[in-house]
């Protein structure tokens, strides 16, 4: 008996809201006050005697199939003056199937995390669970797990929604809460020109699969270069007005590989304070001296370079062409002038610029009429081009150097030929269909002007497809995100630390494939939900036009 008690105590009992559904096939509704892997404490007024044995059934929240277990009463407590919840029986499992035991263990693990590390998501942000915490990784990860679960229970976790259709202006989404499929207006995709579902792109992909198969099979420098890889490099170089180009497996790995290869410990790199995380990470891997300047503040940039004009072997300036959170365009002509005065090289990340701004979507340099004056242009194939991958366009010497020293290129399997063929087809569309650009620009202006007229705070001078809607307080953002999801608009909430605490926002993305009906629907829902939470400036409130 002592051994049994010891074993029972080794498995901690966890409070729960399960209910016993039957005992010996007789229906009953006894609440389970706590549970362990070995047994239950069941609240009941039925005086089961110690040693009694029976078969009981109960259900877990993870599915409709009940669990049956052969049990024995270890102790029975029925006192008239005791607290209401203290009367009941303690039972142990004598026999339970291995499958059901695993289901119970999984359930207990999730409950254990929730109770021991319970987190109210309304009182926290993702920053609270990062490596700034002094807690162990185990504790941080469990608290984050609880934080995300709490958001899900409150309906404010609108990340990782499952798409069941191509990423187009309207998408079919699987709703986890209702377990149903429903159509939503997509305002969160970077597929700005609709290339990922363009008929010409799809046809090119199908033909490439027949010719090349689906994988490259090796890194680019060894056996992973196909004829179409070289063709794409030439096309990208031409697009950016450069001598040559190199293709990477992703946009993130492009900045990582390029910057960490080019910079050395005695170099200086000045980056805009709002530069993309991949630029920052590439700088940190390079061991170069990293300094930031106030966003698009040319006086701050010049002052930084003036203070650091000596003592460095090389100097670089790195900026985004279009900034991913505000959607504004970098003042590239001024940056180039300052770089020339201080003998610095320029690196421009055209991730959100390519296909969107400039002559026929050539990017930031074209937009500012300074083509050929940027030393290194970094780009991605996953935004307006609609595929995956990244590239660097520069001089033939720099590109050649990167082929041998950019680790994220050298040690990564080459892009699948089917992706490369799709990119080439997308570039054909980009260069030969001006209507796409005109439609995108028209949609951007229409959506932005109506948001401003409705009284939303945004970035009025943006010329890109990214239009932020500033909310401010994160709890309001979470609740509004739930409501926008319910109203049928797929839009991405961006909390702290991705943006300042008082500038949390929805990042809306406009596509050329959006119809006027799509945009009006989204505007109507933003207006409705914005009024519910009081974030609209009523003095500016006008009808949609």
Six-digit token pair at 537? 């400036």
pLDDT for residue 86: 63
Length of the chain as a residue count: 545
Structural domains of the chain ordered from first start: 2-113 (2.40.10.220), 121-154 (no CATH), 197-432 (3.40.640.10), 435-540 (3.90.1150.10)
pLDDT for residue 132: 64
Cα separation, 193 vs 186, whole angstroms: 13
pLDDT for residue 540: 55
Q: Which residue has the tokens 């049990």?
A: 71
Question: Is 508:469 a contact under the CB 8 Å cutoff?
Answer: yes
Six-digit token pair at 527? 């207006």
CA distances from 376 to 291, 337, 357, 505 (A): 19, 15, 18, 31
**What's the helix, strand, coil split of the chain in %, to 5?**
40, 20, 35
pLDDT for residue 82: 45
pLDDT for residue 8: 35
CA distances from 17 to 43, 61, 179 (A): 11, 10, 23
Question: Is 185:488 a contact under the CB 8 Å cutoff?
Answer: yes
Strand order in the sheet with 504-509: 466-472, 504-509, 492-494
336 membership: H or E segment, kind and range: helix 332-341
Q: Which of the residues are catalytic? A: 324, 352, 383
Q: CB count, 10 Å around CB of 13?
A: 18
Q: How far is CA 177 from the centre of its chain?
A: 20
3-state secondary structure at position 378: strand
Cα separation, 175 vs 160, whole angstroms: 11
Query: What is the DSSP secondary-structure string of 419-467?
Result: HHHHHHHHHHHHHH-HHHHHHHHHHHHHHHHHHHHHT-B--TT--SSEE
pLDDT for residue 28: 85
pLDDT for residue 311: 87
Residue 470 class from Cβ within 10 Å (0-12 exposed, 13-18 middle, 19+ buried)?
A: middle
In tens digits, the chain (545 residues) has pLDDT values of 333 333 333 456 676 778 898 888 888 888 888 888 889 888 887 888 889 999 999 988 766 788 999 999 998 876 654 444 567 889 999 999 998 998 888 888 776 555 567 788 888 888 888 766 677 888 888 888 888 888 888 888 999 999 999 999 999 999 887 788 999 999 999 999 999 999 999 999 999 999 999 999 999 989 999 999 999 999 999 999 999 999 999 999 999 999 999 999 999 999 999 999 999 999 999 999 999 999 999 999 999 999 998 889 999 999 999 999 999 999 999 999 999 999 999 999 999 999 999 999 999 999 999 999 999 999 999 999 999 999 999 999 999 999 999 999 999 999 999 999 999 999 999 999 999 999 999 999 999 999 999 999 998 778 899 999 999 988 899 999 999 999 999 999 999 888 888 899 999 999 999 999 999 999 999 999 999 999 998 655 554 55
Cα atoms in the Cβ-side hemisphere of radius 13 Å centred on 128: 16
Cα separation, 511 vs 425, whole angstroms: 19
- ∠ CA 339-320-423, nearest 5°, is 120
Contacts of 544 (CB under 8 A, 6+ apart): 450, 453, 454, 520, 523, 524, 527
Question: Is 368:384 a contact under the CB 8 Å cutoff?
Answer: no
Contacts of 193 (CB under 8 A, 6+ apart): 355, 356, 361, 384, 385, 386, 426, 429, 430, 436, 440, 511, 512, 513
């Amino acid at each position: 008996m002592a051994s049994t008690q010891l074993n029972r105590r080794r498995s901690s009992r966890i409070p729960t809201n399960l209910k016993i559904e039957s005992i010996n096939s007789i229906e009953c509704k006894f609440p389970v006050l706590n549970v362990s892997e070995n047994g239950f404490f069941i609240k009941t007024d039925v005086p089961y005697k110690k040693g009694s044995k029976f078969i009981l059934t109960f259900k877990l929240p993870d599915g409709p199939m009940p669990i049956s277990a052969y049990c024995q009463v270890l102790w029975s407590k029925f006192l008239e003056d005791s607290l209401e919840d203290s009367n009941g029986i303690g039972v142990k499992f004598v026999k339970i199937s291995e499958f059901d035991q695993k289901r119970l263990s999984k359930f207990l693990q999730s409950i254990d995390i929730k109770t021991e590390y319970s987190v109210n998501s309304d009182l926290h942000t993702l920053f609270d669970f990062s490596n700034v915490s002094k807690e162990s990784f185990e504790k941080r990860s469990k608290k984050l797990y609880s934080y995300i679960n709490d958001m899900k229970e409150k309906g404010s976790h609108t990340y990782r929604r499952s798409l069941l259709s191509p990423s187009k202006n309207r998408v079919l989404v699987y709703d986890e809460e209702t377990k149903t499929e429903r159509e939503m207006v997509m305002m969160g995709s970077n597929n700005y020109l609709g290339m990922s579902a363009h008929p010409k792109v799809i046809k090119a992909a199908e033909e490439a699969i027949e010719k090349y198969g689906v994988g490259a099979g090796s890194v680019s420098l060894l056996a992973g270069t196909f004829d179409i890889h070289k063709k794409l490099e030439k096309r990208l170089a031409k697009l950016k007005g450069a001598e040559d180009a190199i293709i990477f497996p992703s946009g993130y790995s492009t900045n990582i590989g390029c910057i960490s290869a080019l910079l050395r410990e005695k170099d200086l790199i000045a980056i805009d304070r709002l530069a993309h995380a991949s630029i920052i990470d590439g700088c940190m891997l390079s061991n170069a001296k990293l300094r930031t300047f106030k966003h698009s503040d040319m006086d701050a940039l010049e002052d930084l370079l003036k203070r650091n004009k000596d003592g460095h072997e090389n100097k670089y300036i790195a900026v985004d062409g279009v900034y991913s959170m505000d959607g504004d365009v970098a003042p590239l002509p001024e940056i180039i002038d300052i770089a020339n005065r201080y003998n610095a090289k320029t690196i421009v990340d055209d991730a959100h610029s390519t296909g969107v701004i400039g002559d026929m979507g050539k990017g930031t340099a074209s937009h500012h009429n300074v083509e050929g004056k940027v030393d290194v242009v970094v780009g991605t194939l996953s935004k307006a081009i609609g595929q995956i991958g990244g590239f660097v366009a520069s001089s033939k010497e720099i590109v050649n150097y990167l082929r041998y020293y950019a680790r994220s290129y050298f040690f990564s399997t080459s892009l699948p030929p089917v992706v490369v063929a799709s990119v080439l087809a997308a570039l054909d569309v980009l260069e030969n269909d001006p209507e796409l650009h005109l439609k995108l620009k028209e949609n951007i202006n229409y959506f932005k002007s109506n948001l401003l007229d409705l009284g939303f705070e945004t970035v009025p001078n943006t010329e890109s497809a990214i239009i932020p809607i500033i909310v401010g307080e994160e709890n309001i953002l979470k609740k509004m995100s739930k409501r926008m999801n319910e109203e049928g608009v797929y839009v991405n909430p961006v909390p702290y630390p991705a943006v300042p605490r008082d500038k949390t926002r929805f990042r809306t993305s406009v596509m050329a494939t959006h119809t006027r009906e799509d945009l009006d629907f989204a505007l109507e829902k933003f207006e409705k939900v914005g009024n519910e939470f009081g974030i609209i400036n009523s003095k500016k409130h006008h009808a949609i036009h």
